[in-house]
Structure 1
Amino acid sequence: MTSTSKPAMEAVEELPIAEATARRSIWLELKDAIKGTEADYTQISLKKAIFLLAVPMILELVMESTFAVVDIYFVGKLGPSAVATVGLTETYLFLLYSIAMGLSMAITAIIARRIGEKKKEDAGTAAVQAIFLALLASVPFTVGGIFFARELLALMGADSWSLEHGYRYTQWMLGGNAVIVMLFVVNAVFRGAGDAAIAMRVLWVANAINIVLDPVLIFGWGPFPAFGVEGAAIATNIGRGVGVAIQLWALFRVGKHIRIALSQLYVETKTMLHILRTSLGGIGQMIVAMTAWIFLMRILADIGSEAVAASTTVIRIMMFTMMPAWGLSNAAATLVGQNLGANNPERAESSVWTIGFYNMLFLVCVSAVYFFCNEFLMT
């Protein structure tokens, strides 16, 4: 009896050691994911590849949605008309997001494919053309925002307060929209290359600046004047502008998997058209989804600023919780592209099914939170 119980006791003693080792392994992988590690995502284990890519991508998009939540928190203290101004401006930004996200999906797929094929120079060329396309796409929104802000708000049924006091918020947000598109597109370049940690850290910095400047510029803390709702737009543009500057510096200097040389700064029409054709499906998909929100906001504007403000708050909360799902889908796009480029379609398919399962579990949990905690989330 003693001889049989001794191995059993040794096995019991080894359990805590195994658990501690597993926890340490997870912690080390988490540190690698946040720090950013140079790995071949077509060769390492699929679960590890998903973890290393998904963690920074999820954190990146949580940071992106934090912009919206922070802005609406402080602007909410100015009253429903101020929140309505943000919401009505957002309807035009939805169109911009559609273009930016469509371009991002395309460039992530193309960059990932080139990295999988071990063609880093071609990946850099595609990144440059994507940046040119992003800047071109922002021009109409810039012109419209700077010169026709009041008219655009009136078209969406804005109240007199928004037309008189809130139009400068629209001017800043639409006039400075290039930084929004650039954040999306350049981070898509990093994601496709497997440098997801760089994209995450860029938004950490941008959000920190926005969080600090929002109350300072909205309420006029210290030596700064109180800009009101306009201050939220100024803070957001400054934060995103600094983020874009860091992105470009990283793209030229410190990228682990992709780096652009000055010799690549030229227009290559063939590559640009390829990116544009690849992005059309994604842009169309996003426009269809965003158009529904635009019509909803227009209908709510006829009801009143309170209805628009409530809808804006709900959308911002949804964005905050849906972004992790986008992060997982971005990890899938990177893995599919790189594995197809490496002629490994079976691993690419496994990536989709595995990440799809994880995403389903996450969204079921989110749905439960929405259902049972809706009043708490809105207070």
Structure 2
Amino acid sequence: MIFGIAAIFSVSIVDTYFVGQLGTDYLAALSFTFPVTMAVTSLSVGLGSGASSVVSRAIGANNKTYAKRLSTDSLLLAGLLVMFISAVGYFTIAPLFTLLGASGDVLTYITQYMRIWYISMPFLVIPIVANAIIRSVGNALWPSLIMFFSAGINIALTPAMIFGFGPIPAMDIEGAAISTMIARMVTLVLALYVAYYREQIIELCKPDYYVFVASCKSVLKIALPAGAGSVINPIGIGIVTAIIAGYGADTVAAFGVATRIESFACIPMMALSASIGPIAGQNWGAGNKQRVIKALQYCYLICVLWSLIIIAVFYGFADVFASLLASSDSVASKSTDYLLIVGVSLVGYGWIIVSSAALNSLGKSVTGLSYYALRTFVLYVPLSLAASVWFDERWIYIAISTSNLVSGFLVAGYTLLWLKKAKQEDCDPNWSLNLLN
């Protein structure tokens, strides 16, 4: 999963690098799109979490037929929802980004990029759900290979589409969106092929209406809170982007550069959150609660160790990373400030995403949602807003760092207490599957 997620995030880094060559306004436009595209992607991840949760528990309870039905219905549900969301998004580009603080040429570039991005949404959402289903049966290799292959196509096409190559005309920022769409189309074909032929976890038949509705209810019970929880983080980033917009285009561009580098640095912890779901779901469904607790404790420890590595790397090379992606020295300097200040707090963010993913897989997605709400709406946004009123952007970065640490410690402590209490309660080992029925 680390390699697969790294490949996907490398696409964002490559887009940032090449779009940055077009100028600061283009880079600012891409920075404005980041929280919105991340929010939509997070909704997809929520649907994947819902599907993975119910399918993994069905697998753990040794009910393959039910797992196959849930997988198929989850993909149909994802297809229906994505058509609605992409249509709404396409026709609300200008008012949404105007609300976020974009204007002039920056808004024009955003519109050019997002029109294509929304058209390609089905090719993003359905593969995310399909890959989550494949992982839920215990296979993380093929989803990672698919992600890696898709990223390779995207990275190869991006400079050609942006600057032109041979018969391909230069399309500027639209080229970045088109290359992403082509790569997503390949991902869709590969993910459905593996799910159907290799894992045999989906079936090609018309679903019974009442069975489909029941499956949707089971998936949405997890997916809606999980998706909302995933969306909360980019919403917070969007609000903070709007706050930072008051400091000028350079600061917005720097924030976009820094958050992309930050996301790349968090990849191993994101891989843990993707991995803990199938492990927790299958073992919980089989009644092996102690294994769930042990796995989560190991995840917390790995987050600590990786965060120490991040701190060391940022203090040695943050300016180098920022300079590679920034469109000017000013943008690079501001990005470096963010990485040095926020980098020390990423262990807290890691604990939050791992804890939330574990509880989602156990059917406690509302609790997972509350974790993200605590970090974003109780700490991240209010502290950032307060810092912007009295201080410069460095104090906003300090507010973000404080939010990560405080919320992370609270979440990790509560999660372990809840799991240990649940372990002591006497209940049917298959209780989580019974809830689905």
**TM-score (normalizing by structure 2):** 0.69
Question: Which residue pairs with 1:249 in the alignment?
Answer: 193
DSSP 3-state at the match of 2:131: helix
Return the alpha-carbon distance in structure 1 between the equivalents of residues 268 and 188 of structure 2.
22
Q: Deviations over 1:190-209 (max 9, x none)?
A: 11111111101111211111
Question: Which residue pairs with 1:164 in the alignment?
Answer: 108
Question: Which residue pairs with 1:128 in the alignment?
Answer: 72
Aligned-pair distance for 1:95? Answer: 2.2
Question: Which residue pairs with 1:283 in the alignment?
Answer: 227
Q: Please, which of 258, 262, 265 is the counterpart of residue 204 of structure 2?
A: 262
Which stretches in structure 2 are left out of the alignment for 5+ residues?
A: 324-437
Which amino acid counterpart does residue 137 of structure 1 have in structure 2?
L
Which amino acid counterpart does residue 61 of structure 1 have in structure 2?
I
Which stretches in structure 1 are left out of the alignment for 5+ residues?
A: 1-56
Cα 1:148/1:287, change in 2 over 3 Å: closer
Return the alpha-carbon distance in structure 1 between the equivalents of residues 260 and 50 of structure 2.
25
TM alignment of 1:140-219, pairs within 5 A: 140-219=84-163
Cα 1:312/1:275, change in 2 over 3 Å: same
Return the alpha-carbon distance in structure 2 between the equivalents of residues 376 and 265 of structure 1.
54
Please say if residues 72 and 203 of structure 2, whose CA atoms lie closer than 8 Å, have aligned partners that are also in contact: no
Please say if residues 218 and 227 of structure 1, whose CA atoms lie closer than 8 Å, have aligned partners that are also in contact: yes
Return the alpha-carbon distance in structure 2 between the equivalents of residues 354 and 94 of structure 1.
28
Cα 1:65/1:266, change in 2 over 3 Å: farther
Please say if residues 149 and 168 of structure 1, whose CA atoms lie closer than 8 Å, have aligned partners that are also in contact: no
Which amino acid counterpart does residue 118 of structure 1 have in structure 2?
N
Return the alpha-carbon distance in structure 2 between the equivalents of residues 349 and 148 of structure 1.
44
DSSP 3-state at the match of 1:195: coil
Question: Which residue pairs with 1:33 in the alignment?
Answer: none
Question: Which residue pairs with 1:24 in the alignment?
Answer: none
Cα 1:183/1:263, change in 2 over 3 Å: closer
Please say if residues 60 and 200 of structure 1, whose CA atoms lie closer than 8 Å, have aligned partners that are also in contact: yes
DSSP 3-state at the match of 2:154: helix
Please say if residues 69 and 203 of structure 2, whose CA atoms lie closer than 8 Å, have aligned partners that are also in contact: no
Please say if residues 65 and 320 of structure 1, whose CA atoms lie closer than 8 Å, have aligned partners that are also in contact: yes
Question: Which residue pairs with 1:304 in the alignment?
Answer: 248
Aligned-pair distance for 1:341? Answer: 2.2
Determine if the alignment matches structure 1 residue 114 to structure 2 residue 52.
no
Aligned-pair distance for 1:266? Answer: 5.8
Q: Please, which of 71, 74, 80 is the counterpart of residue 15 of structure 2?
A: 71
Q: Report percent identity of matched pairs.
A: 27
Please say if residues 100 and 185 of structure 1, whose CA atoms lie closer than 8 Å, have aligned partners that are also in contact: yes
Structural RMSD (CA): 1.9
Return the alpha-carbon distance in structure 2 between the equivalents of residues 259 and 82 of structure 1.
43
Mean alpha-carbon deviation: is it higher for 222-231 or for 93-102? Answer: 93-102
Please say if residues 110 and 123 of structure 1, whose CA atoms lie closer than 8 Å, have aligned partners that are also in contact: yes
Aligned-pair distance for 1:264? Answer: 6.2
- The total of aligned residue pairs comes to 321
Cα 1:104/1:323, change in 2 over 3 Å: farther
Question: Which residue pairs with 2:272 in the alignment?
Answer: 328
Please say if residues 44 and 128 of structure 2, whose CA atoms lie closer than 8 Å, have aligned partners that are also in contact: yes
Larger Rg: 1
Cα 1:141/1:90, change in 2 over 3 Å: farther
RCO higher in structure (CA 8 A, sep ≥6): 1
Return the alpha-carbon distance in structure 2 between the equivalents of residues 105 and 161 of structure 1.
38
DSSP 3-state at the match of 2:86: helix
Aligned-pair distance for 1:291? Answer: 2.0
Aligned-pair distance for 1:140? Answer: 4.0
Q: Deviations over 1:217-238 (max 9, x none)?
A: 1001111010000000000111
Cα 1:265/1:377, change in 2 over 3 Å: farther
Question: Which residue pairs with 2:401 in the alignment?
Answer: none
Please say if residues 26 and 173 of structure 2, whose CA atoms lie closer than 8 Å, have aligned partners that are also in contact: yes
Cα 1:147/1:282, change in 2 over 3 Å: closer
Return the alpha-carbon distance in structure 2 between the equivalents of residues 265 and 201 of structure 1.
30
Determine if the alignment matches structure 1 residue 348 to structure 2 residue 348.
no
**TM-score (normalizing by structure 1):** 0.79
DSSP 3-state at the match of 2:266: helix
